[in-house]
Structure 1
Amino acid sequence: MAEIRIRNTNERISGEENVKAFLDKQVVLYEHWNADKLPAHLKENFILSDENKAEILATFDTEIKDLAGRRGYRTWDIIALSEATPNLEELLKKFESVHTHTEDEVRAITAGKGIFVIKGTDDVGYFDVELEAGDVISVPEHKPHFFTLMENRQIVAVRLFIETEGWIAHPFEDPTFSKA
């Protein structure tokens, strides 16, 4: 279940309803899918074949199509990151810069853990959304954020897009942001 850490105060928010209520106020979509329906051989598998990816997409087909229908997403795929990912450090450096997009950035976590760091309202500042299997988040277009892995450095997620070529990151310079 997702948990939030507000960086300015170190306050933590947990529990599905509390997380959802906080993120609603920040205009960030949060949902929870049943990760237990994923076949056992895919639950902690971070090196996926094309067949494995297709099986994950088929497992969550109903949820994906429901979310896509409500939000206008037209295409989706699977991303898997782990120590086995070629150039993992370079990818993380690219991800770990505050940026925006001209469409939502959507992730439905099916295995592992990750963190979205998001710029909230002025009274909140930056906050971390710690995600695990079953958590679904949509960071709206033009909202400064970035994504990184947690200490286990493993994640599998469904990504949904409006534009069929995927999103493009636009750097967001913010002197108030600190990586800590």
Structure 2
Amino acid sequence: MAEIHIRNTGERISGEENVRAFLDRQEVLYEHWNPTKLPADIQEKFILSDEEKAQILSTFDEEIRDLAKRRGYQTWDIIALSDATPNLDELLKKFEQVHTHTEDEVRAITAGKGIFIIKGSDDVGYFNVELEAGDVISVPEHKPHFFTLMDNRQIVAVRLFIETEGWIAHPFEDPTFQKA
């Protein structure tokens, strides 16, 4: 279950209802899917064949199509990252820069853990959303953020897009941002 860490106060928010209420106030969509729907042999697998990726998409087809219909997403895929991913550290450096997009950035975590760092309202500042299997988040267009892996450095997620070629990051310079 997702947990929030507000960086400037150290406050932590947990529990699905509390997390959802906080993220709603920050205009960030949060949902939870049942990760145990996946076959046991791929629930904690981070190197996936094309067939296994298709199996994940098929397993969550109803949830994906429902979210896509409600939010206007046109296409989706699977991203799998782990220490076995070629050039993982270089890839993470690209991810770990505050940026915005001209469409939502959506992740439905099916295995592993990840973290979104998001710029909230002026009274909140930056906050971390720590995600695990079953957590679904949509950071709205133009909201400064970035995504990275947690200490375990393993994640599998469904990504949904409005634009068929995927999103493009636009750097967001913010002198108030401090890496944790």
TM range (shorter): over 0.9
SS of the equivalent of 2:24 reads helix
CA drift of 1:114 comes to 0.3
CA distance in 1, matches of 2:173, 2:55: 39
SS in 2 for 1:18: helix
- Write the distance in 1 (CA, Å) between the matches of 2:143 and 2:104: 9
- How far the C-alpha of 1:5 sits from its partner, in A, is 0.1
Match of 1:9 in 2: 9
Matched ranges for 1:141-160 at <5 A = 141-160=141-160
3-state DSSP of counterpart to 1:179:
coil
Q: Distance in 2 between matches of 1:38 and 1:6?
A: 32
Give the alignment of 1:57-76 within 5 angstroms: 57-76=57-76
Once residues 78 and 10 of structure 2 are traced to their aligned partners in structure 1, the CA distance between those partners, rounded to angstroms, is 32
Match of 1:37 in 2: 37
Quick one: distance in 1 between partners of 2:34 and 2:45?
17
Aligned twin of 2:25: 25
Q: CA deviation at 1:81?
A: 0.2
Does 2:138 match 1:138? yes
CA distance in 2, matches of 1:55, 1:41: 11
Paired residue type of 1:114: G
1:47-66, Cα deviation, whole Å (9 max, x unpaired): 00000000000000000000
What is the CA–CA distance in structure 2 between the aligned matches of 1:124 and 1:91, rounded to whole Å? 29
* Offset at residue 94 of structure 1 (A): 0.2
Report deviation, 1:133. Answer: 0.1
Determine if the alignment matches structure 1 residue 47 to structure 2 residue 58.
no
Offset at residue 173 of structure 1 (A): 0.1
Aligned match of 1:117: 117
Q: Give the fraction of aligned pairs with identical amino acids, expressed as a percent.
A: 86
What's the Cα RMSD here?
Answer: 0.3
TM-score w.r.t. the length of structure 1 is 1.00
**Alignment gaps of 5+ in structure 1:** none
Taking the aligned partners of 1:150 and 1:10, their CA distance within structure 2 comes to 18
4+ runs of 1 displaced by more than 2 Å? Answer: none
Q: Which residue in 1 is equivalent to 2:164? A: 164
TM-score, scaled relative to structure 2: 1.00
Matched residue type, 2:91: L
What is the deviation of 1:31? 0.1
